[in-house]
């Protein structure tokens, strides 16, 4: 039991802020060894302990302002996926080539967790903890599932080596681990293609206006949030006029920069109009827009200089129990915090807006965690990826840096520059090789300006979309079926 719990904790340490990426395979290896030789039911129980050791320390930001119950409930729910993985491992552990089947089972549980329930919760995928490690390069080939598979295979192969050594099958064991390490090294050492800053390129500005206060009620002073972003844009314009910073071609404001609907509030529209005139460039404005039927949309709105609102992206993947409340009538009776959930409705489309004649992929905050959303935008012609986000509702927690790691993986996966604009930090400019070129401090008003390349080429991961994940998942299901049949024959 202690080893299973410790295995989960080691998995957690691979994620920001610790970012000890090399401990993820060790955690997987210990978990696989801890469930060796026990029943599927017993493995399920030990796997659940490992899941708690993993998700409880990973997700405390969920409850920073609403208490421990939502945090622990979400961690307990996500831990079921690790329990299922452990049960699957008990089924396939005796099959030839078990290390590969075990790794496939981990990726399969991640695939399910990214879709169920309530649209899924991809947080905690092994790939998101590898942005400082050599396996990040695999993202350009097979995306996040490929990176997760490589990490899991390293862990399961290590476990197989330990078992082999215990059985005095040293040569066979070392050969297995050597093969895995050579393959992973070859893939991980592949050069990450990076578009050169020649032409075409754009000068992009990110404006971080900061908020009057943190927490769920940060937008109680909605006009102050908008005014902060206008003021910091005006300050940037002054820096441009003084020659301190280059003039931007386009400006990105974060999610919730204007929680005042500019279509219904003339004063908000006037403030945004003035900001575009002052900076001399169109602004992507994160706004809350009313639908007129009692619901709202989380919108990234292109505001053109002189002409006002133009292209728009409505957030497609909403945060359950935050931006909307599943089973509202039931949950409202169970939790006093239910009343704080929003009444947003999802948008549709491909997530691409055109700003300054540039096709821009918009992955609003939570959306960056979902493979299919970013992939669809890039395949639809986006040459640059923007992640407008509002992390003020999570305070000074690890959530910001965990999300930044996801953005770094997306940069490599699609060979696109990624720009992250946050209300209160961290805003960042990420090169196509995953390096963070510039970033702001938390809880400060700031602006970043950089010339970034535009790219139209697709990586293999972009072309394949979800095919690698599908193949891995089907392989895992087949292996589990074979393992189940073999276990019945042994019992018979």
Rounded Cα distance, 142 and 412, in Å: 11
Tell me the CA distances in angstroms from 97 to 103, 157, 173, 180, 234, one per residue in order: 11, 10, 12, 12, 62
Q: Which of 105, 202, 315, 323 is catalytic?
A: 315
Name the residue among 145, 127, 158, 162 with its Cα closest to residue 21. Answer: 127
Report the phi/psi class of residue 315: left, alpha or beta, with left for phi > 0 and alpha for psi in -120 to 50. beta
Establish how many alpha carbons lie within 13 A of residue 191's alpha carbon, considering only the half-sphere containing its beta carbon.
3
> Edge to edge, what strands does the sheet with 446-453 contain?
308-314, 296-304, 283-290, 250-252, 201-208, 446-453
Going by DSSP bridges, is the β-strand pair 250-252/201-208 parallel, antiparallel, or unpaired? parallel
Neighbouring-strand partners of residue 304: 308
CA pseudo-torsion sign 352, 353, 359, 363: negative
Q: Which of 110, 255, 367, 376 is catalytic?
A: 255
Q: Which of 365, 367, 413, 469 is catalytic?
A: 365
Please list the alpha-helical segments (H only) found in 167-192: 170-188
> Edge to edge, what strands does the sheet with 352-355 contain?
352-355, 358-362, 384-389, 418-422, 428-430, 436-439
Rounded Cα distance, 433 and 136, in Å: 9
Which tokens belong to 7?
Answer: 């295995």
Name the residue among 146, 220, 176, 179 with its Cα closest to residue 459. Answer: 146
Name the phi and psi angles at 320, rounded to 5: -65, 145
Q: Is 105 one of the annotated active-site residues of the chain?
A: no
- CB of 370 within 8 A of CB of 120? yes
Can you list the pairs that 335-339 forms with residues at least 24 positions away whose Cβ atoms lie under 8 Å? 335/69, 335/70, 337/66, 337/67, 337/70
- CB of 437 within 8 A of CB of 172? no
Q: Is 245 one of the annotated active-site residues of the chain?
A: no
Say which DSSP state 246 is in.
Answer: P
Query: Which residues participate in catalysis according to the annotation?
Result: 255, 315, 365
């Amino acid at each position: 039991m202690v080893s299973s719990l410790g295995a989960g904790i080691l998995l957690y340490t691979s994620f920001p802020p610790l970012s000890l990426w090399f401990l993820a395979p060790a955690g997987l290896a210990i978990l696989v060894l801890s469930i060796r030789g026990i029943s599927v039911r017993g493995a399920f129980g030990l796997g659940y302990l490992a899941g708690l050791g993993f998700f409880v320390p990973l997700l405390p930001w969920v409850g920073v302002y609403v208490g421990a119950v939502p945090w622990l409930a979400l961690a307990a729910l996500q831990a079921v996926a690790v329990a299922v993985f452990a049960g699957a491992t008990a089924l396939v552990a005796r099959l030839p080539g078990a290390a590969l089947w075990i790794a496939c089972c981990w990726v399969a549980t991640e695939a399910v967790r990214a879709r169920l329930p309530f649209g899924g919760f991809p947080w905690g995928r092994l790939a998101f903890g590898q942005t400082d490690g050599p396996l990040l390069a695999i993202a350009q080939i097979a995306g996040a599932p490929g990176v997760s598979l490589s990490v899991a295979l390293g862990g399961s192969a290590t476990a197989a080596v330990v078992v082999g050594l215990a059985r005095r099958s040293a040569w066979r064991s070392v050969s297995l681990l050597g093969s895995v390490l050579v393959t992973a090294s070859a893939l991980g050492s592949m050069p990450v293609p990076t578009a050169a800053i020649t032409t075409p390129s754009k000068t992009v500005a990110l404006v971080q206006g900061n908020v009057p206060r943190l927490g769920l009620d940060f937008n109680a002073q909605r006009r102050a949030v908008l005014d902060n972003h206008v003021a910091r844009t005006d300050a940037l314009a002054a820096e441009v006029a003084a020659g301190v910073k280059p003039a931007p071609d386009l400006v990105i404001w974060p999610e919730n920069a204007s929680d005042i609907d500019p279509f219904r509030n003339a004063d908000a529209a006037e403030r945004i109009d003035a900001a575009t005139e002052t900076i001399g460039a169109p602004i992507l404005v994160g706004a809350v827009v009313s639908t007129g039927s009692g619901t709202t949309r989380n919108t990234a709105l292109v505001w053109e200089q002189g002409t006002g609102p133009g292209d728009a992206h409505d957030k497609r993947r909403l945060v359950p129990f935050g931006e909307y409340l599943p089973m509202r009538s039931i949950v409202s009776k169970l939790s006093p915090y239910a009343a704080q959930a929003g009444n947003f409705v999802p948008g549709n489309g491909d997530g691409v807006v055109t700003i300054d004649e540039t096709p821009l992929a918009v992955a609003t905050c939570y959306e960056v965690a979902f493979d299919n959303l970013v992939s669809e935008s890039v395949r639809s012609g986006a040459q640059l990826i923007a992640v407008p986000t509002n992390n003020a509702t999570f305070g000074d927690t690890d959530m910001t840096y965990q999300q930044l790691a996801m953005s770094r993986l997306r940069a490599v996966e699609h060979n696109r520059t990624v720009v992250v604009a946050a209300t209160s930090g961290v805003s960042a400019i990420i090169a196509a090789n995953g390096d963070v070129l510039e970033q702001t401090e938390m809880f400060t008003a700031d602006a970043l300006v950089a010339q970034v390349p535009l790219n139209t080429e697709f990586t293999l991961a972009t072309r394949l979309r979800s095919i690698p994940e599908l193949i891995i998942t089907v392989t895992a299901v087949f292996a589990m079926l074979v393992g189940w049949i073999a276990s019945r024959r042994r019992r018979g």
